[in-house]
Amino acid sequence: MIKRGVTCILIFGCIFIYSTINNCADSAWAVNAVHKGVLDSWGERAGFWGEKAGFKVNTLMASQGNLRLEDTVFQRLVHELVEGRTTALESGDVVSRSAGMGERILDNPPAMPVEPPSTAARAAVVMEASSKRVLYAKNPHMKLPMASTTKIMTAILAIELGNLDDVVTASPKAVGVEGSSIYLAKGERLTLEQLLYGLMLRSGNDAAVAIAEHIGGSVENFVKLMNRKAVQIGAGNTHFVNPHGLHDDMHYTTAYDLALISAYAMQNPVFRTIVSTKYKKIPWEGRNYDRVLQNKNALLWNYEGANGIKTGYTKISRRCLASAALRHGMQLVCVVLDCQPWFDDSAALLDYGFANFKPYTVVSKGQVLGRIPVKDGYEAQVAAVCTEEILLPVKEGEEKEISVEIKLPQHLRAPVKAGTKVGYVKVTLGDEVSIRKDLYTASDIKENTIRSNLKRIFDRWFDAGSGFQNFFDF
Please write the tens of the pLDDT for every residue from 430-453: 888 899 999 999 999 998 866 666
Closest CA to 226 of 250, 256, 190, 204: 250
Please write the tens of the pLDDT for every residue from 149-194: 999 999 999 999 999 999 999 999 999 899 999 999 999 999 999 9
Please tell me whether the peptide bond between 415 and the residue prior to it is cis, using omega within 30 degrees of 0: yes
Provide the CATH topology of domain 2-103+362-441.
Answer: Peptidoglycan synthesis regulatory factor (PBP3), Domain 2 (2.60.410)
Q: Report the chain's mean pLDDT, rounded to a whole number.
A: 80
Q: Where are the domains of the chain?
A: 2-103+362-441, 143-310
Closest CA to 334 of 147, 134, 53, 92: 134
Average pLDDT over residues 109-115: 59
| Tally of CB atoms within 10 A around 290 | 11
Phi, psi angle pair for 23, to nearest 5°? -65, -40
Looking at residue 131, its amino acid is S
Average pLDDT over residues 39-60: 32
- Cα 463 to Cα 247: distance, rounded to the nearest angstrom: 75
50 has a pLDDT exceeding 60: no
Please write the tens of the pLDDT for every residue from 132-154: 999 999 999 999 999 999 999 99
Q: Which residues belong to the active site? A: 148, 151, 203
465 has a pLDDT exceeding 90: no
The sign one gets for the Cα dihedral 346, 348, 352, 354 is positive
Phi, psi angle pair for 198, to nearest 5°? -65, -35
Cβ atoms of 67 and 33 within 8 Å: the answer is no
Residues in the chain: 474
Please write the tens of the pLDDT for every residue from 281-304: 999 999 999 999 999 999 999 999
Please write the tens of the pLDDT for every residue from 303-340: 999 999 999 999 999 999 999 999 989 999 999 999 99
Question: Which region holds residue 203: left if phi is over 0, alpha if psi is between -120 and 50, else beta?
Answer: left
345 has a pLDDT exceeding 60: yes
CA 168 vs. chain centroid, Å, equals 31
Q: Which CATH superfamily is domain 143-310 in?
A: DD-peptidase/beta-lactamase superfamily (3.40.710.10)
Q: What is the pTM of this model?
A: 0.73
**Which residues pair with residue 331 across a beta bridge?**
326
